[in-house]
Amino acid sequence: MTPVLQARGLVKRYGHVVALDGADFDLMPGEVLAVIGDNGAGKTSLIKALTGALQPDEGEILLDGKSVRIRNPLEARRLGIETVYQELAVAASLDIATNLFLGRELRKPGLLGTIFRKLDKKRMREESANHMADLKIGLRSLTQPVESLSGGQRQGVAVARAVAWARHVVVMDEPTAALGVKESGQVLDMIKRVRDRGMPVVLISHNMPHVFEIADRIHVQRLGRRVAQIKPGDHSMAEVVAIMTGALQVSEGKSVVTDKDAAEAIGL
């Protein structure tokens, strides 16, 4: 099976700091792939490179097996890669439908739209309602401003927007970081529904229980590169943490203890 999105040997240096040190990445069709790693492991840099927010110094990115150059986030969107950023990227004072179509507004048909640039608010509301219903995001009204929503509902709008436009991949950077237990649960359910619709999802998360609940596979990033690709069912959370910190290494699917003291310290 050809990976939907792939990276080979990505390198990104900031002066003496090597944020990406030959990082590989593979996202398979229809999966939720969690990207985990300690602080500074290069998760954000990797995701930025895959979504056009950063230009790697070296390496290659492939979409559906074809080499692509993603020069900026707009180009990533054009290629069908949508990103939900950690800092809830919605315009608070605008209503939900407007947020969903921000930067991609629908115009009225005919001269009203082409010459007078009149917005087709009715159609945008109708389509927004469909998207929100699809993801089972219950909202009283699509004309209420986003600032009147709860954190989870706002995140829902950001996810719905990404899913509405993504043709290939949805990338989510810590989508539950700012949310409470109930709201996190709603967002995780939403991610499952996105996956069930066949859209692969990349999820960066520090939250191991969330990762274990939702990921089909886990990409472990350490010191700027991928050190393991594992299935949550094959390893315990403690093992995964040990792989993240370098106490355990995975070779040919088997875990090997590399730092006995560290492994003992976390009870392995």
Nearer residue to ligand ATP within complex by CB, 125 or 225: 225
Instruction: Pick the piece of the chain touching ligand ATP (CB under 6 A) from 35-43, 67-75, 94-102, 121-129.
Output: 35-43
Site for ligand ATP contains 37 (CB under 6 A): yes
Kindly list the distances between the CA atom of residue 176 and the CA atoms of 41, 79, 186, 203, in Å, as whole numbers in the listed order: 20, 26, 9, 10
**Least distance between ligand ATP and beta carbon 209 (Å):** 17
Q: What is the CA radius of gyration of the chain?
A: 20
Site for ligand ATP contains 17 (CB under 6 A): yes
Q: Strands of 38-153 (E only): list them.
A: 58-63, 66-68, 81-84
* Residue of 39, 65, 69, 254 interacting with ligand ATP (CB under 6 A): 39
Site for ligand ATP contains 30 (CB under 6 A): no
DSSP secondary structure letter of residue 119: B
- Phi then psi for residue 209, to 5 deg, are -60, -40
Helix 181-196 vs helix 151-165: angle between axes, to the nearest 10 degrees?
10
Site for ligand ATP contains 125 (CB under 6 A): no
Nearer residue to ligand ATP within complex by CB, 39 or 93: 39
CA-CA distance, 43 to 40, in Å (whole number)? Answer: 8
The DSSP element (H or E) to which 183 belongs, if any, is: helix 181-196
* Residue of 5, 7, 10, 19 interacting with ligand ATP (CB under 6 A): 19
CA-CA distance, 219 to 64, in Å (whole number)? Answer: 19
* Residue of 29, 30, 40, 185 interacting with ligand ATP (CB under 6 A): 40
Site for ligand ATP contains 42 (CB under 6 A): yes
Site for ligand ATP contains 175 (CB under 6 A): no
Site for ligand ATP contains 45 (CB under 6 A): yes
**Least distance between ligand ATP and beta carbon 176 (Å):** 15
* Residue of 41, 61, 201, 244 interacting with ligand ATP (CB under 6 A): 41
Q: Strands of 143-245 (E only): list them.
A: 169-173, 201-204, 217-222, 225-230
Q: Which residues bind ligand ATP (CB under 6 A)?
A: 14, 17, 19, 37, 39-45
